[in-house]
Structure 1
Amino acid sequence: MALAVLAAITVSVRNQVLQDAQLAANRAQLKRACQGLLPQDRLRPFLSDRSAGRLVEYGTVLEPGQESRALLDCRLSWAGAGTADPDGAEVRVRAEALLRVREDTPEDSAQEARTFPLPLPPNAVGDFETDEDETVATLLVTCPGGLVRRTGRTGELQVTVSLPLPPHGPGQARAEVRAYRLAAARTAVSVANWIAERRRCGGAPLPLSGPPTSPDPALCDWLDPLALGLGGSWQAGRDRPYRTRNGTCEARRTDLETTPERLTITSLSAQSATGVKGRLLREQHLQYEGPPPREDGRTVWIGGDPLDVAVWAEADCGGEVAYHRVSVIPEIPPDRSGQFFVTADERRRLAGTARAVLTRYLAAGSAWPRRSHCRDTTVAEGP
């Protein structure tokens, strides 16, 4: 009996020694993984003492001659870790030279749950996506020195960081998620700074602490529907900070139920962009066909889709090509036969309003074009 007890104690001690050794190995792996840029304090709860973590790391910054779309791609995972997912947990870090806008390319968000929790200079944009299992921070940074990829050269660096979330109850969910969002944001900033230094991007490093960037209401003060001769009540979007890569202002009419006119303008917007976002804006403009009009005497017949009357302009803004697009959207009630239409005169009037909005936009001192030092502007009517 004594021998059996001694054997059991020996096995238990040996298992504990093996588990301690495995946990120590996983801690060492976490410390060096992803170039040592991971938030170790937030990821230690996911470490396993029974199985080794799996690390996959590559990219042209690590191996300059490597054929890879990524500057850095790092994945660290653990089986059976402390997460709600029974398959374990995974950390993902990816940095790449961005040639085209993708679905995950960040946009400034006015939603508290998606606002990037660190201060960002005008040449950077951050965003978040969070679900029950993970939080994903995405950062788009301008690289003045340029970045080279196999298929082209760009000045845009995009970093994406995904951290697993531990199981949490309703009482601790908000604070827990905020802490992990901040850790993901700091990791994204650290990766962007690390890449920028090694690729000689130029510019100052992004800050790792401080309050989030505040919106700049003056950026859209120029968009005043009443000054444009439009009556009614309007709500304007003034919740975005100034960014060098893109800017958006919009206003929507809120009293449509009491509007007696047949044709009422319901939405005004102005958008500008450079770099990959500028090219996307230009492509969208060229590809947009709108509702197919058919000349029928004095009437242009419109399908059921909203009529979007737009004008656009191209300019040199601080040495980069920028595209501006101003859009006017009216509410068009159907006639007795259920057809939607505007007359040719009405369409010209809508286009005139769009051009008036663009004129105010280009002239306003606090608006995006002046703040981005735009000049040599060429205006053309859009679809």
Structure 2
Amino acid sequence: MLGLRGRVWQRRTPLVVLMAVVGIAGAVLVARDSGGGHLAANRTQLRKACDGTLPYRDLERLVGDERPGELSEHGTVLTPGQESRSLLDCSLSWGDGHGVTVHAEALVSDVPEAVKSRDLLEPAGGRGTFVAPGTTGQYGKRGAWLVADCRGGLDGRVRPTTDLYVTARVTDGTGKAGKADAAGSGKPGRATALLGFRTAVHVANALTKAQHCGSGPLMTPTAVVDTDETHGAPGRGLRKCGWIEGSSLPGAAPGPWTTLGDHQESTGLSACAGRRGAAKDAGERPRPKRWQVTEVEAASWSGILGRSAYDSYEREGHVPGWGAEDDKRSSEADGSAGTRREARVSSYSGRPQLALWARSVCDGSATYHRVAVYPEIRLQDGETAVIGGTDRARLSTAARTVLDRYLDADDGWPASAKCRDTKVLGEVEQWH
């Protein structure tokens, strides 16, 4: 009887195993229907999404298991011949605030970011942001953005171009990828900013390699710098800005000066500023006299960055030659042609400054330089001050001295970029 029961059990064993397998499969299907079980598929999707340009190791931890990833992508990289401004537009989301969005385009016009001197020295209107040393860009409204060169030329646009613009925004569920952080400053967390830059660099390197740009890859950043922490902080001046010695400038206010730089360590742009700082005995020193220089700045932009910066100033009428015909007619009318005339400075003209522009060839690219000197002046609303010819001439001398020191400094950006063939373009009175 035992042998018979054993043979019966052996005949039933396949049926039992089959029922167990069906039960397990059913449980898996139920689990999928109720959420979960998507991790492997989502990871595979991450590897292939955005034409395989995303940094898998950096983004893997964001991949969710509860729901399938949602992917939206288009661009000429994915569909050659497609009529699109974008080389790549790609968004991948796993729900609960976890996702990544990247954009890349070959620029045929200005960089779609603010790159004037103050935008480099006081980003986000002075509220601060993050930069990644070695990367030309900042963390902005679209996430981390950067500009890269493609000397071999980029495909995908009707007009040829050698400039690549990339943005990357990573969200990790904390709500700090461009929205207000816990302090309400509008800045992301440091880790989120770094992840955005690393993603943007990875995408840029993948595209320039695929496009045979002929230049080496961008360095993947390992840290970011908070511009709030470096703004005006003693001892945080950069070596490239060490040429600023305000107290020795002609017409400068005496006293200690502090320096400030952009911290991008970029080959495409640079900015430095020097300011007469406060000291412990500031109350014992006389205040600067009117029209004495209390601040200077110097900036350079190469290639498309130079064109973008110049266009930004030109739209405001702050480039050499703008309004020159009106000035000429005014000088001829009052007989002051060839001499320094008195000028009126209104309280509504913003912060008065005298700028001096020059142009060079730096690392083989057309480059604009702009320096500015800021005189001491305090006006109440509606007041107007008059700057005489002598004080105006002192400002010109100070501006030219700043330009010469900036271009000649051994540790300065122009020297590192091997700038040559410099031509001074002219002054701009930014107080009209």
8 Å Cα contact 1:216/1:239 also seen in 2: no
What is residue 234 of structure 1 aligned with on the other side? 257
Shift of 1:178: 4.8
| 3-state SS, counterpart of residue 147 of structure 1 | coil
What is residue 77 of structure 2 aligned with on the other side? 61
What is residue 101 of structure 1 aligned with on the other side? 111
**Larger displacement relative to structure 2 (277-286 or 177-186):** 177-186
8 Å Cα contact 2:237/2:258 also seen in 1: no
1:206 lines up with 2:245 in the alignment: no
State how far apart, in whole Å, the 2-side matches of 1:25 and 1:269 are. 53
What is residue 344 of structure 2 aligned with on the other side? 301
1:91 lines up with 2:100 in the alignment: yes
Structure 1 pair 284/349, CA: closer, same or farther in 2 (3 Å)? farther
1:186 lines up with 2:203 in the alignment: no
What is residue 49 of structure 1 aligned with on the other side? 66
What is residue 330 of structure 1 aligned with on the other side? 375
Superposed CA offset, 1:58-109 (max 9, x none) = 211222211111111111234xx233xxxxx542111111231213779688
Amino acid at match of 2:408: A
Superposed CA offset, 1:226-256 (max 9, x none) = 2324322221114625422111111112258
8 Å Cα contact 1:101/1:276 also seen in 2: yes
1:318 lines up with 2:363 in the alignment: yes
Superposed CA offset, 1:328-353 (max 9, x none) = 11122449x93222113322221121
Amino acid at match of 1:379: V
Amino acid at match of 1:188: A
Amino acid at match of 2:266: R
Amino acid at match of 1:92: T
State how far apart, in whole Å, the 1-side matches of 2:274 and 2:112 are. 26
8 Å Cα contact 2:246/2:276 also seen in 1: no
Amino acid at match of 2:112: R
Shift of 1:371: 1.7
What is residue 161 of structure 2 aligned with on the other side? 154
State how far apart, in whole Å, the 2-side matches of 1:41 and 1:363 are. 42
Amino acid at match of 2:384: Q
8 Å Cα contact 1:216/1:242 also seen in 2: no
Match of 1:279 among 307, 315, 331: 307
Structure 1 pair 28/318, CA: closer, same or farther in 2 (3 Å)? closer
8 Å Cα contact 1:274/1:321 also seen in 2: yes
What is residue 173 of structure 2 aligned with on the other side? 166
8 Å Cα contact 2:62/2:99 also seen in 1: no
Superposed CA offset, 1:141-181 (max 9, x none) = 2222232453533322122111112249999xxxx955544
Structure 1 pair 286/181, CA: closer, same or farther in 2 (3 Å)? closer
Shift of 1:219: 1.1
What is residue 3 of structure 2 aligned with on the other side? none
What is residue 138 of structure 2 aligned with on the other side? 127
| 3-state SS, counterpart of residue 200 of structure 1 | coil
Match of 1:376 among 421, 424, 431: 421
Any gaps of 5 or more consecutive residues in structure 2?
1-23, 183-187, 231-235
| 3-state SS, counterpart of residue 360 of structure 1 | helix
State how far apart, in whole Å, the 2-side matches of 1:43 and 1:108 are. 35
Amino acid at match of 2:66: D
The structure carrying a bigger strand percent of its residues is 1
Provide the TM-score with structure 1 as the length reference: 0.77
Q: Aligned-pair RMSD on alpha carbons? A: 3.9
Q: Percent of counterpart pairs with the same letter?
A: 35
Any gaps of 5 or more consecutive residues in structure 1?
1-8, 84-88
Shift of 1:357: 1.0
